[in-house]
Structure 1
Amino acid sequence: MGEGPIPTDDGAIEPIGLKAALEERYLAYALSTIMHRALPDARDGLKPVHRRILYGMRLLRLDPGGGFRKSAKIVGDVMGSFHPHGNMAIYDAMVRLAQDFAQRYPLVDGQGNFGNIDGDNAAAERYTEARLTEVARLILDGIDEDAVDFRPNYDGTTEEPVVMPGAFPNLLANGSTGIAVGMATSIPPHNAAELIDASLHLIENPQATTDDLLKFVKGPDFPTGGVIIESPSSMADAYATGRGGFRLRARWEKEDTGRGTYVVVVTEIPYGVAKSRLIEKMADLLNEKKLPLLADVRDESAEDVRVVLEPRARNVDADLLMESLFRLTELEVRFPLNMNVLVGGLVPKVVSLGEALREWVDHRREVLLRRSRHRLAEIEHRLEVLGGYLIAYLNLDEVIRIIREEDEPKPVLMARFELSDVQAEAILNMRLRSLRRLEEFEIRKEHDKLSKEKDGLEKLLSSEDKQWKTVARQLGDTRKMFGPDTALGRRRTTFGEASVHNVGAVIEALVEREPITVVVSEKGWVRALKGHVADLSTLVFKGDDALKLSFHAETTSKLLVFASNGRFYTLDASKLPGGRGHGEPLRLSIDLEQEADIVDVLPYQGARKLLVVAKEGRGFVVNEDDCLANTRKGKQVLGVDAQDATKVVPANGDTVAVIGENRKLLIFPLNQVPEMVRGRGVRLQRYKDGGLSDIKVFTLADGLTWTDTSGRNWTVADLTEWKGDRASAGRLPPKGFPRNNRFG
């Protein structure tokens, strides 16, 4: 300890700024993650680990139709030669390539337990075996024919491909997800036949727009099926920009079980969702009573998916039941689209559908050119050798004599018959048994055949039009293998629309409907007692707190909270605390400033009218629906100067009775009060000093009723003395009116 930094070899210590050192190292890490781990190449759709697995399996000759090899052998070879990382990282990547519920077109053919849709893991690598699939063979096709560049592996002992030839549109067909540093990618799987049709259109019409291509590519095609309910315009935007998302739902059907009863059977679940986790979540929601329309959930799956949902009653609407499940469970997911790929294997870029397909078809042309040049060089070499063989055949005895008698036969042969070095070397390396087959006819036949092929290749290399036609023909051959009439190529995901339901009905379906009694204390504590409780005398409150108000409601009700700041707040009765304790302060559920108080709480009934009044005697009638708030901040309805909103009463009747703190009573028609959405309102009663005490809306024909302090009810029928116009001062109330100036 305390010996100081370790000196460098020459004894000198080189100071480096910490910031610069960290920036340099983090940038190197970020670039490594982006380039060599998380983002796929736009040309072959593979990340380095997948490319190395496929190439390693190719070297082990694990071709489709051939034998299987232990996964441990494959992983060991890939780790030792190409991918110096943990064996579980390599094995997990290989397992995913073999899972038909994870890959739309699996690249690895697995034998043994490779996991399942429930989310169970694959068996250990020593128990499973694998080989390549036909799709992987297409991706590798031509790799030995100089189709792609190779680079030294991590320790320089061998070489690995930079990119695959990729005769299959793997980037979009199998999709890809990955998180790098500062960027991520998320590409859903698509249908290969549709992608190839779009690519053929792009070859014929290089200026094709995204809308043109979407006539062929309908949308994602997930291996697990499902129904996409995204709107066409939203999908078009996503494909044009490379960013967006798709709402994917489970496929379900209604199955009659006789006597008017039914069950819902889910046959396909969304991509990437583990079935066991989905059912576990549904069971938890059932236990928490958050799915009142559902009675039971059963997993009857075997090879296929079959999740049975039993409704609570036969009259439950199946669509509404499913809508409530789509909202709360992973029966509906949103799969993001972020087509962030390595363009040219170097530059990370978010590409559109057209750009992604353009990268692939351009790569296919490049592969065609490279393979053609490679084949041309092979043909030219063979033609040269055949020319030497022909000379040797025509002068066989002389050739044999030179080889037998000369110490250095090669220069003598070259001088005697004007042979090239390659030809002389080929004659000298020829086996004796080959002399038997060395017939002039055979040599000339092969020479003519190769000359014809050479002529075709030279024409191909000189004509861009011919190149694109050849690429199109190759794509057509691939399409036949994965056409809509094949088991693998048939589209699995379909398109639909979300059934339109009243939002209120869906929300109500998420809550079990039970009677409750809402209790609010003077200090603003709220609780919900089970059932409609009539006698509240036994309720206990905290300290010096007491009952302010109570009313009957249901768990599906909405509550309107009116505060002294003139705002209305909305609460769901289902979210109120239970009645066992003292409840909770209302302020925990709404954003109510400290100086404001709660004036009243009432159940929302819908479409009724409310009269809101400020302390100074101003007010107006408001429609209850205009008081509903969508956020915790509430909705400003009555404009007030200070915290002086005093009353909210249902406007049921034709006449308003208002009494001030000056003990003056005024009665006037309700139609003199305007109906507004928000504002300060109009004056209802005039005061010299003080403000409003209480207000009531009643029907004039029934008379004015109040309750005195000892609980007796009083009714006055003849109210002529107190009748007047709005904004009058009023007169002293009738005999027997309570001293507290309240209607009771």
Structure 2
Amino acid sequence: MGPIDTTETLRKAIGDRYLTYALSTIMHRALPDARDGLKPVHRRILYAMSRLRLSPTGGFLKSAKISGDTMGDFHPHGDAAIYDAMARLAQDFNVRYPLVDGQGNFGNIDGDNPAASRYTEARMTAAAEALLEGLAEDSVDFRDNYDGRLTEPAVLPATFPNLLANGSTGIAVGMATNIPPHNLHELIDACLHLIKTPDARDDTLLNYIPGPDFPTGGVIVETPENIATAYRTGRGAFRLRAKWEVEDLGRGTWQIVVTEIPYQVQKSKLIEKLAEVIQLKKVPLLADVRDESAEDVRIVLEPRAKTVDPEVMMGMLFRNSDLETRFSLNMNVLIDGLTPKVCSLKEVLRAFLDHRREVLTRRSRYRLEKIDHRLEVLEGFIIAFLHLDRVIDIIRYDDDPKKALIAEDWAKTHVRATSEADYRSPTGIDPEVSLTETQAEAILNMRLRSLRRLEEMELVAERDALRAERAGIEELLASDDLQWARISEQLRETRKIFGRDSIGGARRTQFATAAEVVDVPLEAMIDKEPITVVCSKMGWIRAMTGHIDLTRELKFKDGDGPRFIFHAETTDRLLVFGANGRFYTVSAANLPGGRGMGEPLRLMVDLPNETEIIDILVHKPDAKLLLASAEGNGFVVPESDVVAQTKNGKQVLNVASGAALVCKRIDGDFVAVVGENRKVLVFPLDELPEMGRGKGVRLQKYKDGGLSDATTFTRADGLSWLDPAGRTRTETELDEWSGKRASAGRMAPRGFPRDNKFN
């Protein structure tokens, strides 16, 4: 016998157990059944409530009792999870057709949790009762509960397509489901069409079901093509927007009132997000937001000015907040309770209709059995009434009346009775030869008050009615057309109860075409005023009002001093270039005032403490920049490509740690570079590539050391620098220093600054 491969054994053991867990999660927890649209926990809650007789017209019962019974009898998991599932079925902002009628605090659209189960009460709704209709008539299979004491339904009869009506969400192992709620009237119309035309196309069904119908309303702005594709494939998404209107306040002023918010968006979180949008000035047109909601939703949005276009402002808000969301469709459901499959709209409706047919045939057969049993009993009663004296005789004097009743030949008794003219049956019935055991038992259990002469007529009438009903049921079971006609009739009755004419049955979610979002820059909402930007050596930045003298002495913190000072406008955006090669964007309008010492620039953008600020520029969209690193690499980049949209900045120049050195706006057609070895090289600007991001190309060759500075200039005007005495010197004869890019260059001319900087 060879050695045991423990690795393979462990792999098989773990694989088997994980597969078992995966199947359990898929089939018994996360995915709904296509037939009744319920997961096991919801089905068990409703069944437990039906056993507690919590009908829609009856009394309420403590939620703790309901969740406790569900847990103890059918669902051996946490009572908190069961109560959460039950509470969700009662939330009219989560479920399109609530299945639980809750009394007490069951949560709200703000996102507040329900009260503890000991404080709330519940009963079933009419919709839940419709899902359970026919459960006691052998309409579905029952299976043992977890400990074998009781049985529970494997699926509910479901008189309406609950899967699509209320939707479902779940995450299983390796798969998930996400189905939006729909309008029940539209679903039944589609089912009726599918019964008439079984081979109808998915696109045809969209004439009846244009899209989801969310309990919180809203406006779907998805294109019809995308909606059709989603329903045809079972996968897709729907863009859902809040519903809003403009409220006139008089004198040309107005405000926007949001009355419906997207599905599954918590109102409190939405208000927080809108406040953040205002604070970060992502939507400069919006000035304020207020929540004036009571029982209904009323969110007030104030514009920054009355000249703002409401459509433009809302378009920007849709893009920057949860006033617009995207609801994903993933119609992954259990077909026949066993097989997970991503279904189309038609396949889901087909599964429901096939289930209804199965329920109809099972209920019909169950009724047949009941009719047959009742007919057998009625025949026995009729015999007893024809020979009442003989029956009484047997019961009074026989030791075993049941056996005697069965053994009696009632045909002979009938002949004897009629020949003696003792009794003439008003119905003229000829009795059977003998009684069955069931008939004899029914006769013995008959009450004395039923022995009145008139009862025979009623028994015969009941027997004839049952025989007619039985013939109708047999005809129904033998004909597919009759079965579908009966199902159509049942669906129309359900539509009458829950359709668009019922309370809450009308469509809530509307459809619209999404207008193109127009970006309005912050500058458009800011008054253009002159300022002087001051940034200290330690990185404290401020904005002085007006264009002040740049040589004026300013106050700084102890140990600090001036670093950057330049004129700008309040509408400008500032480009901050760090030694890490990243660009950061700051709005000049957001700079602190000049009365104090300002604020740290590093707090306004996510600039690391160890990263030096190389330069600060006023952004000019049409300009270009020369970027160079201390390693001697560089390139040209358009300024429009370096603007950062977030506080994290935008990586443009790839450098070693702290190696960025030069950021100069291009002004000329030639480049001059100087190395730490004081050698100067001049070459044409067109030898440098234009890039959006990267390391760049070699500017100058060094044996050791690196780059000190670089600049651009116009060759005809010459290259200028400040000499040690502070005087501007210009060199026009540059042939000595001219060469190809990446060459070594020549020693700097006499009088070149000792710090190796051009200016």
Instruction: Specify which of 472, 480, 497 is matched with residue 464 of structure 1.
Output: 480
1:296 is paired with a residue whose SS is: strand
Q: SS of the residue aligned with 1:186?
A: strand
- Counterpart of 2:490, as a letter, is Q
Change (3 A) 1:177 1:692: closer
* 8 Å CA contact 2:667, 2:712 repeated in 1: no
Within 5 Å, give how 1:55-74 maps onto structure 2. Answer: 55-74=47-66
Once the two structures are overlaid, the 10-residue window that deviates more, 142-151 or 299-308, is: 299-308
SS at match of 2:365: helix
Does 1:174 find its partner at 2:166? yes
Given the alignment, which residue of 461, 473, 476 partners 2:489?
473
Residue range with higher mean Cα deviation, 100-109 or 116-125: 116-125
Q: Distance in 2 between matches of 1:349 and 1:372?
A: 30
* Cα offset, 1:608, TM superposition: 3.7
Q: 1:233 & 1:87 partners in 2: Cα distance?
A: 44
In the aligned structure 2, how far is the partner of 1:399 from the partner of 1:513? 114
Any conservation in 1 of the 2:41–2:85 contact (CA below 8 Å)? yes
**Match of residue 313 from structure 1:** 305
Q: 1:157 to 1:212 in 2, by over 3 A?
A: same
The correspondence for 1:336, drawn from 328, 344, 352, is 328
In structure 2, the residue matched to 1:435 is 451
Deviation at 1:136, TM superposition (A): 1.0
- Tell me how far 1:130 sits from its aligned partner: 2.6
Alignment of 1:651-666 (within 5 A): none
Once residues 166 and 120 of structure 1 are traced to their aligned partners in structure 2, the CA distance between those partners, rounded to angstroms, is: 31
State which drifts further: 419-428 or 41-50: 419-428
Match 1:49 to one of 25, 41, 48: 41
Q: Give the Cα separation in 2 of the matches to 1:472 and 1:423.
A: 39
Distance change >3 Å, CA 516–CA 340, structure 1 → 2: farther
**CA 1:647–1:57: 2 relative to 1, 3 Å:** closer
Kindly state the Cα deviation for residue 192 of structure 1 after the two structures are TM-superposed.
1.2
Structure 1 residue matching 2:105: 3-state secondary structure: coil
Letter in 1 for 2:217: G
Match of 1:217 among 209, 221, 228: 209
Taking the aligned partners of 2:249 and 2:728, their CA distance within structure 1 comes to 59
Distance verdict in 2 for CA 1:131–1:515, change over 3 Å: farther
How do 1:75-86 and structure 2 match up within 5 A?
Answer: 75-86=67-78
Which residue matches 1:156?
148
Match of 1:384 among 372, 376, 380: 376
CA distance in 1, matches of 2:145, 2:477: 32
Q: Secondary structure at the match of 1:310?
A: strand
Deviations, residues 463-483 of structure 1 (Å, cap 9, x unaligned): 223222322222222222232
Alpha-carbon shift at residue 120 of structure 1 (Å): 3.2
> Contact 1:102–1:223 (CA<8 Å) still a contact in 2?
yes
Q: CA deviation at 1:296?
A: 3.3
When residues 473 and 509 of structure 1 are mapped into structure 2, their CA distance, relative to the original with a 3 A threshold, is: farther
Give how far 1:211 is off. Answer: 2.6
C-alpha spacing 1:382/1:555, structure 2 compared with 1 (3 Å):
farther
Matched residue type, 1:59: R
1:367 and 2:367 equivalent? no
Q: Which residue number corresponds to residue 604 of structure 1?
A: 619
Match of 2:339 among 331, 334, 347: 347
Distance 1:171 1:513, change over 3 A: farther
Conserved 8 A contact 1:52-1:82: yes
Contact 1:563–1:599 under 8 Å retained in 2: yes
Aligned to 1:557: 573
Which piece of structure 1 moves more, 470-479 or 322-331? 322-331
1:421 aligns with 2:434: no
Structure 1 residues 232 and 441: alpha-carbon distance in aligned structure 2, compared to 1, 3 A threshold: same
Q: Secondary structure at the match of 1:144?
A: helix
Of the candidates 531, 535, 542, which is equivalent to residue 529 of structure 1?
542
| Cα deviation, residue 695, structure 1 | 4.9
Q: Residue 436 of structure 1 aligns to a residue in which SS?
A: coil
* Corresponding letter in the other structure for 1:454: R
Q: Distance in 2 between matches of 1:560 and 1:280?
A: 30
- Judged with a 3 Å threshold, the aligned counterparts in structure 2 of structure 1 residues 69 and 562 are, in CA distance, closer, same or farther, namely closer
Report if the CA contact (8 A) 1:229-1:249 is conserved: yes
CA distance in 1, matches of 2:108, 2:536: 53
Post-superposition CA distance 1:129-166 (Å, at most 9, x none): 33221111110110011111112233333222111101
Higher alpha-carbon deviation: 70-79 or 383-392 = 70-79
Alpha carbons 1:513, 1:556 under 8 Å: kept: no
Deviation at 1:295, TM superposition (A): 3.7
Give the deviation of 1:318 after TM superposition.
Answer: 3.2
Q: Does 1:113 align with 2:126?
A: no
| Letter in structure 1 aligned against 2:503 | A
- Paired residues of 1:111 and 1:130 also in contact (CA < 8 A): yes
Can you give the 5+ residue segments of structure 2 that lack an aligned partner in the other structure? 1-7, 411-432, 701-705
Give the counterpart of 1:398 among 380, 390, 394. 390
Q: Which amino acid aligns with 1:447?
A: R
Q: Please, which moves more after superposition, 320-329 or 727-736?
A: 727-736
Q: 2:400 aligns with which of 370, 385, 408?
A: 408
Query: Judging changes above 3 Å, is the alpha-carbon distance between structure 1 residues 258 and 371 closer, same or farther for their aligned structure 2 residues?
Result: same
Distance 2:558 2:175 in 1: 55
CA contact (8 A) 1:113 1:122 kept: yes
Please name the residue that 1:193 is paired with.
Answer: 185
In the alignment, the residues of structure 1 paired with residue 518 and residue 41 of structure 2 have an alpha-carbon distance, to the nearest angstrom, of 49
Deviation string for 1:108-145 (max 9, x for gaps)? 22233333223334344444333221111110110011
Q: Distance in 2 between matches of 1:85 and 1:645?
A: 60
SS of 2:341's equivalent in the other structure is strand
2:176 maps to 1:184: yes
Give 1:77 deviation, angstroms: 3.5
Task: Give secondary structure in 2 for the equivalent of 1:393.
Answer: helix
For 1:448, the equivalent position in structure 2 comes to 464
CA distance in structure 1 between the aligned counterparts of 2:133 and 2:172, rounded to whole angstroms? 30
Contact 1:621 1:673 in 2 (8 A): no
How far is the alpha carbon of 1:182 from its aligned partner?
4.2
Cα contact 1:520–1:550 (8 A) shared by 2: no
Whole-Å separation in 2 of the counterparts to 1:334 and 1:514: 43
Structure 1 residue 491 displacement after superposition: 1.1
Say if 2:83 is the partner of 1:91.
Answer: yes
Q: SS state of the match for residue 521, structure 2?
A: helix
**Cα distance in 2, alignment partners of residues 527 and 353 from structure 1:** 61
Matched residues in 2 for 1:253 and 1:141: separation? 43
Q: Does the 8 Å contact 1:115/1:122 carry over to 2?
A: yes
User: Deviation string for 1:443-497 (max 9, x for gaps)?
Assistant: 3332332222222211221222322232222222222223233332111112234
Q: What is the alpha-carbon distance in structure 2 between the residues aligned to residue 328 and residue 312 of structure 1?
A: 17
CA contact (8 A) 2:277 2:283 kept: yes
Which residue number corresponds to residue 585 of structure 2?
A: 572
Task: Name the % identity.
Answer: 54
Change (3 A) 1:633 1:627: closer
Q: 1:635 to 1:24 in 2, by over 3 A?
A: closer
Q: 1:38 & 1:113 partners in 2: Cα distance?
A: 27
Matching residue's letter, 1:607: D
Segments of structure 1 that go 5 or more residues without pairing to the other structure are: 1-15
Q: 2:512 aligns with which of 487, 491, 496?
A: 496
Name the CA distance, whole Å, in 2 between partners of 1:167 and 1:137: 9
- CA shift, 1:605, in A, is 2.1
> Structure 1 residues 598 and 91 mapped into 2: Cα distance closer, same or farther (>3 Å)?
closer
CA contact (8 A) 2:606 2:649 kept: no
The Cα shift of 1:366 comes to 0.9
Q: Deviations over 1:311-365 (max 9, x none)?
A: 3333344344434544444333333333333322223333332222222111111
CA distance in 1, matches of 2:492, 2:632: 82
Contact 1:461 1:467 in 2 (8 A): yes
